[in-house]
Amino acid sequence: MIELIFATNNLHKLEEVQAIVGDRVIIKSLNDIDCHNDIPETGKTFRENAQQKTDYLVNKYNLNCFADDSGLEIDALNGEPGVYSARYSGSRDMERNIDLVIERMMNNENRTARFKTVISLHIDDNQFFFEGIIEGTIINHRRGSKGFGYDPIFIPDGYDKSFAEMSAEEKNLISHRSIAVSKMAEYLKNI
């Protein structure tokens, strides 16, 4: 049995990841280790931010852990919101963030975008990175009530539903996070 601290208190992410890695890995949140600090995310890339979070946890708690940094990259917006996805509008209010994307995309014909996740895994004094990308398009209005973040305005390639219209099981089969987590889970099987 492997125990890992996931550098998050986001229950959606925690449930998503636990469903993918299965019972062999016990995943605990920051809350479970009584970490209530705002962990810095000042990197210019998803990888830098993910590593910054695991470095923080290793230095402060000396525990096996992993962190992810994820975001939406929109081609017509030169990769924005990117690493600023969670606070694109200047706040962490996702409704405002989505509104800003819709506003900035209003007259753009190029709707291509991708969700990207990079996971930094720190285990037994070793660091590993796993990446997941799902390509898709941005739509002009919200569709669906499931999921979180930008899910209501993102339709993955090959589908006619937004992430927010998919069940958790459907989304977990194809999402950027599930791709990265599946790569990490495959690595953990061999430990």
Q: Does this model's pTM top 0.75?
A: yes
Judge contact between 155 and 166, C-beta under 8 A. Answer: no
Catalytic amino acids? Answer: 69
pLDDT band at 162 (very low <50, low <70, confident <90, very high): very high
pLDDT surpasses 90 at 147: no
Give the pLDDT confidence of 38-76 residue by residue, as tens digits.
Answer: 898 899 999 999 999 999 999 999 999 999 999 999 999
Any idea where the domains of the chain sit in the sequence? 2-189
pLDDT band at 24 (very low <50, low <70, confident <90, very high): confident
What's the fold here for domain 2-189?
Maf protein (3.90.950)
